[in-house]
C-alpha cells in the first residue's frame, strides 16, 4: 500500500544563489499539498495563471495563453490527490511556481508516453512545470523547486522523477540571441534526456491564429 498523500503547507528558503551571481536575498518557497493546496488555490488561481502565461509566452514555448484555460488547468491539477504546488514569493507576491504529481495521476498523453515504451508510470513523479519571472532568476529558486518536488515525491514513496520540455530547432530564427538552454541545469539536478519518451501537445503560439502540435521530450531521474 503506498502511503497516503501528505497534506502540508511547508515553507523553506531557496538554496543560496549561484556563486557567480550578485548576492541577492533568497526567495521564500512554499510547498502546498492535500487540503492546504485545495484551501489556498482559489485565492491564488488568478496570480498563478498569469504567471504561467507570462513565462510560457517566452522562448522556447511562445505560448499564447488564455487566463481561463490556465485557471481550469491549475484547478484540474490540484484535484490530483498526490499533487504538490511550490510557490516562490517576493514578500506576498507570487513570482514563480512549480508543480508535481504522481505520473499515474497526470494528463493522459504524459502517462501514455511512458506506457508506449513499456515503462510503468507507478513509482514516477511527474514534474509538470517550473516558471519564474525573469527578474528573479539566478537566486536559487529553480534548484529549490526541484528539491521541494523531489522531497514531496519521496514522501509519496515515489522512486523516480520525470518532466518534459519542448523540443526546438536550434536554428529557429525566433530563438533569442544569447538564449541559454536549461539542459546543463537539468543535468546538474541529476536528470538525463530520454529522447525515446516523447509526446505531442498542441497550443497556439504567439502570432498564430490556431493551435499547432509541438513535440516534447522527457528527462528522467531514476533513482531519485
Ligand X SMILES: CC(C)(COP(=O)(O)OP(=O)(O)OC[C@H]1O[C@@H](n2cnc3c(N)ncnc32)[C@H](O)[C@@H]1OP(=O)(O)O)[C@@H](O)C(=O)NCCC(=O)NCCS
Query: Using CB under 6 A as the criterion, which residues of the chain lie in contact with ligand X when the complex forms?
Result: 17-18, 55, 129-132, 137-143, 165, 180, 182, 184-185, 188
Q: Give the number of other CB atoms < 10 A from CB of residue 49.
A: 21
Asked if 82 and 105 touch (Cβ cutoff 8 Å), the reply is yes
Q: Nearest distance from residue 185's CB to ligand X, in Å? A: 4
**Cell numbers describing residue 172:** 529557429
Q: Residues of 62-93 as b/e, b for ≥16 C-beta within 10 angstroms? A: bbbbeeeebbebbeebbebebbbbbbbbeeee
Given the complex with ligand X, which of 122 and 131 has the nearer CB atom?
131
Phi and psi at 117, nearest 5°, equal -95, 10
Given the complex with ligand X, which of 134 and 207 has the nearer CB atom?
134
Q: Nearest distance from residue 42's CB to ligand X, in Å? A: 24
Given the complex with ligand X, which of 1 and 177 has the nearer CB atom?
177
Degrees, nearest 5: CA angle 95-148-73: 60
Q: In whole angstroms, how far apart are CA 129 and each of 87, 124, 224?
A: 12, 15, 18
CB half-sphere exposure, 96, CA atoms < 13 A: 27
Cα–Cα distance for residue pair 151/36, rounded to 1 Å: 17
Place of cell 526546438: 168
Given the complex with ligand X, which of 40 and 166 has the nearer CB atom?
166
Tell me the sheet residues that pair with 107: none
Given the complex with ligand X, which of 1 and 184 has the nearer CB atom?
184
Given the complex with ligand X, which of 5 and 17 has the nearer CB atom?
17
Q: Nearest distance from residue 194's CB to ligand X, in Å? A: 15
- Find the residue with minimal CB distance to ligand X: 142
Q: Nearest distance from residue 75's CB to ligand X, in Å? A: 19
Q: Nearest distance from residue 4's CB to ligand X, in Å? A: 28
Q: Nearest distance from residue 203's CB to ligand X, in Å? A: 13
Amino acid at each position: 500500500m503506498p502511503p497516503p498523500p501528505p497534506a502540508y503547507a511547508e515553507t523553506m528558503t531557496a538554496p543560496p544563489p549561484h556563486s557567480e551571481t550578485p548576492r541577492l536575498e533568497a526567495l521564500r518557497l512554499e510547498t502546498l499539498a492535500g487540503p492546504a493546496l485545495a484551501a489556498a488555490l482559489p485565492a491564488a488561481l488568478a496570480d498563478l495563471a498569469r504567471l504561467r502565461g507570462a513565462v510560457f509566452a517566452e522562448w522556447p514555448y511562445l505560448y499564447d495563453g488564455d487566463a481561463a484555460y490556465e485557471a481550469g488547468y491549475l484547478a484540474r491539477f490540484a484535484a490530483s490527490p498526490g499533487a504538490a504546488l511550490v510557490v516562490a514569493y517576493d514578500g506576498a507576491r507570487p513570482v514563480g511556481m512549480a508543480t508535481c504529481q504522481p505520473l499515474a495521476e497526470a494528463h493522459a498523453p504524459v502517462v501514455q508516453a511512458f506506457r508506449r515504451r513499456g515503462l510503468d508510470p507507478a513509482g514516477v513523479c511527474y514534474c509538470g512545470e517550473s516558471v519564474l519571472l525573469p527578474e528573479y532568476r539566478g537566486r536559487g529558486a529553480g534548484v529549490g523547486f526541484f528539491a521541494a518536488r523531489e522531497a514531496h515525491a519521496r514522501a509519496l514513496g515515489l522512486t523516480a522523477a520525470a518532466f518534459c520540455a519542448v523540443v526546438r530547432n536550434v536554428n529557429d530564427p525566433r530563438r533569442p540571441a544569447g538564449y541559454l538552454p536549461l539542459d546543463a541545469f537539468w543535468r546538474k539536478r541529476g536528470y538525463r534526456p530520454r529522447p525515446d519518451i516523447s509526446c505531442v501537445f498542441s497550443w497556439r503560439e504567439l502570432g498564430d491564429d490556431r493551435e499547432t502540435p509541438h513535440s516534447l521530450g522527457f528527462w528522467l531521474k531514476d533513482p531519485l
